[in-house]
């Protein structure tokens, strides 16, 4: 619809511009035609003036011959003096048409012949017998001159008629074209107005619909906020209330084992151990679920966090385990970023625990943590030309096939059995949610029995992020990478 309206107004503007152009052209053409008509009048006037000067020469010479009075020679001399200038002007006027140029040459020859006869007659006296023949020749030359001038005047009048008709036809055609363009412009503007009116009506309907959606969305947001508050309270109460009976199960199982362990056979001790282990695993699962639900639900302020301090604190906490496994630890220079400190603890604690968990037997474990600055255009979904930090957590453990990459960041998704490796299947999902909350990107590169490298990309400054916090659905989504 918008393209149609734009096309309609562009068409109207083109038609209006065409009308102006045609009007200007018509005016120029009409001016040219009128100039030609005026030129014809000028040629006719010049011809008549030329003939009048020749008549003055003829009259003056005739009066002098008859009366022998030199007074009659004054118009004769005046005519002779003005004729060259008049013929030059007439020559310039007749330079547009070849026919009139040829007629101009013939006219000048006739005038020269006429003047020659007139000059000869002035020297002959009235009583001279030759005078009659000279007068007869003069009259003949004058008649030829008159007929030639009349012919040239008729030709100019014919040209004037043609040019007048051409000017009228051009003016009439121009009026018709301008009228047609005006009518088309009016129709285009009417159609464009109708389209614009429909577009405005459609937008008004969309705006009203959006307002209804906004009201519904606000209502749903309030319901979701209330539901989130209830879920948080439920999670807190559930974790607190569930932890208490689990602690009692663990305590009583340990108490029974300590007091009556000498009375149990092998199967009984195995069963009691399974009870204790299951209770402990259930307790850890509840804690992980609580941590997972709290991430992105609690809106905490971003502050400058030294990642090196966080990683070092986690390594200190894992010191006994690292020494027990004889892990080779390599930690490079880690920068400071704007982040939530507690969530960075969760992120690196899970990644480091993951590297220490999935080790290969008979191979000294390796934990390498490095960082480098990158541009946002390096990874999909990040802001191009903005500065990010790429942190890699590398190990030489059992690895996995990358076709399972999308699954490892989902809740309760495990690639190995519970008996093979401990864990609840929530750790990497927590990492994913933390990274999404910080407007970053996380992926992994791995091959079976060749180790795994987790890649975490975080913005240096959260002020560069011009989009909203991710929703819960976004936190669970993961782009294939």
Lowest-pLDDT choice from 24-33, 106-115, 341-350, 386-395: 24-33
- Domains, the chain, ranges and CATH? 2-196 (1.20.1330), 300-476 (3.30.565.10)
With contact defined as beta carbons under 8 Å apart, do 60 and 74 qualify?
A: yes
**What digits encode the pLDDT tens for the residues 161-172?**
877 787 777 777
Angle between helix axes 266-294 and 131-260 (nearest 10 degrees) is 150
pLDDT of residue 235: 65
pLDDT tens-digit series, residues 301-339: 888 999 999 999 989 988 888 898 898 999 999 999 999
pLDDT bucket at 240, cuts 50 / 70 / 90: low
Instruction: Please report where in the chains the tokens 């946002």 appear, as a residue.
Output: 376
Name the pLDDT band for 292 (thresholds 50, 70, 90): low
Q: Which residue has the higher pLDDT, 116 or 382?
A: 382
The pair of structure tokens assigned to 35 is 């100039």
In angstroms, the CA 347 to CA 351 distance is 6
Neighbours of 43 (CB within 10 A): 25
pLDDT for position 289: 64
Q: What percent of the chain lies above the pLDDT cut of 70?
A: 81
Nearest to 357, CA basis, from 452, 456, 455, 457: 452
Q: Are strands 328-331 and 303-306 parallel, antiparallel or unpaired?
A: unpaired
pLDDT at position 388, please? 92
Give the confidence band of 189 by pLDDT, cuts at 50, 70, 90.
confident
Q: Are 66 and 126 in contact (CB under 8 A)?
A: yes
Describe the crossing of helices 307-317 and 341-357 by its angle, rounded to 10 degrees: 50
Contact criterion met (CB below 8 Å) for 451 and 367: no
Q: How far apart are CA 216 and CA 218, in angstroms?
A: 5
Lowest mean pLDDT among 15-24, 68-77, 213-222, 231-240: 231-240
Read off the pTM. Answer: 0.46
The first and second tokens of residue 172, run together, are 């009439």
CA angle in degrees (0–180, nearest 5) for 351-356-360: 125
Output the 3-class SS for the chain: CHHHHHHHHHHHHHHHHHHHHHHHHHHHHHHHHHHHHHHHHHHHHHHHHHHHHHHHHHHHHHHHHHHCCHHHHHHHHHHHHHHHHHHHHHHHHCCCCHHHHHHHHHHHHHHHHHHHHHHHHHCCCCCCCCHHHHHHHHHHHHHHHHHHHHHHHHHHHHHHHHHHHHHHHHHHHHHHHHHHHHHHHHHHHHHHHHHHHHHHHHHHHHHHHHHHHHHHHHHHHHHHHHHHHHHHHHHHHHHHHHHHHHHHHHHHHHHHHHHHHHHCCHHHHHHHHHHHHHHHHHHHHHHHHHHHHHCCCCCCCCEEEEHHHHHHHHHHHCHHHHHHHCCEEEECCCCEEEECHHHHHHHHHHHHHHHHHCCCCCCCCEEEEEEEEEEHHHCCCCCCCCEEEEEEEEECCCCCCHHHCCCCCCCCCCCCCCCCCCCCCCHHHHHHHHHHHCCCEEEEEECCCCCEEEEEEEECCHHHCCCCCCCHHHHHCCCCC
Q: Which two tokens stand for residue 200?
A: 């405005």
Distance, CA of 327 to CA of 197 (rounded, Å): 74
Label residue 299 by pLDDT band (50, 70, 90): low
């Amino acid at each position: 619809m918008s393209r149609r309206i734009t096309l309609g107004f562009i068409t109207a503007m083109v038609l209006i511009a065409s009308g102006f152009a045609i009007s200007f052209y018509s005016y120029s053409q009409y001016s040219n035609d009128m100039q030609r008509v005026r030129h014809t009048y000028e040629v006719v006037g010049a011809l008549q003036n030329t003939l009048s000067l020749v008549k003055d020469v003829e009259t003056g010479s005739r009066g002098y011959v008859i009366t022998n009075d030199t007074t009659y020679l004054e118009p004769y001399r005046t005519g002779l003096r003005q004729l060259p200038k008049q013929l030059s002007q007439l020559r310039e006027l007749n330079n547009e048409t070849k026919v009139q140029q040829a007629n101009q040459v013939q006219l000048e020859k006739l005038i020269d012949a006429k003047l020659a006869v007139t000059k000869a007659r002035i020297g002959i006296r009235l009583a001279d017998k030759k005078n009659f023949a000279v007068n007869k020749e003069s009259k003949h030359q004058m008649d030829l001159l008159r007929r030639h001038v009349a012919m040239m005047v008729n030709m100019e009048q014919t040209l004037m008629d043609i040019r007048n008709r051409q000017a009228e036809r051009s003016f009439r055609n121009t009026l018709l074209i301008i009228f047609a363009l005006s009518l088309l412009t009016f129709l285009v503007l009417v159609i464009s107005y109708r389209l614009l009116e429909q577009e405005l009506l459609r937008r008004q309907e969309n705006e009203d619909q959006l307002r209804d959606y906004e009201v519904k969305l606000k209502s749903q947001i309030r319901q979701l906020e209330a539901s989130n508050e209830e879920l948080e309270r439920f999670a807190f109460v559930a974790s607190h209330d569930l932890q208490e009976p689990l602690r009692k199960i663990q305590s009583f199982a340990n108490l029974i084992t300590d007091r009556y362990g000498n009375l149990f056979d092998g199967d009984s001790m195995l069963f009691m151990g399974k009870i204790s282990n299951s209770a402990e695993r259930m307790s850890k699962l509840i804690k992980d679920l609580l941590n997972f639900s709290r991430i992105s639900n609690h809106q905490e302020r971003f502050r400058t966090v030294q990642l090196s301090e966080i990683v070092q604190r986690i390594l200190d906490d894992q010191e006994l385990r690292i020494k027990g496994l004889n892990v080779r630890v390599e930690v490079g220079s880690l920068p400071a970023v704007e982040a939530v400190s507690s969530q960075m603890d969760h992120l690196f604690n899970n990644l480091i625990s993951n590297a220490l968990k999935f080790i290969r037997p008979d191979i000294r474990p390796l934990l390498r943590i490095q960082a480098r600055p990158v541009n946002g255009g390096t990874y999909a979904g990040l802001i191009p030309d903005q500065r990010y930090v790429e942190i890699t957590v590398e190990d030489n453990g059992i690895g996995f096939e990358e076709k399972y990459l999308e699954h490892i960041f989902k809740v309760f998704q495990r690639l190995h059995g519970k008996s093979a490796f401990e864990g609840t299947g929530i750790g990497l999902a927590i990492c994913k949610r933390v990274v999404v909350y910080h407007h970053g990107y996380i992926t992994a590169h791995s091959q079976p029995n060749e180790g795994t490298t987790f890649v975490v990309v975080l913005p240096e400054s959260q002020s560069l992020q011009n989009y909203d916090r991710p929703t819960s659905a976004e936190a669970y989504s993961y782009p294939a990478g």
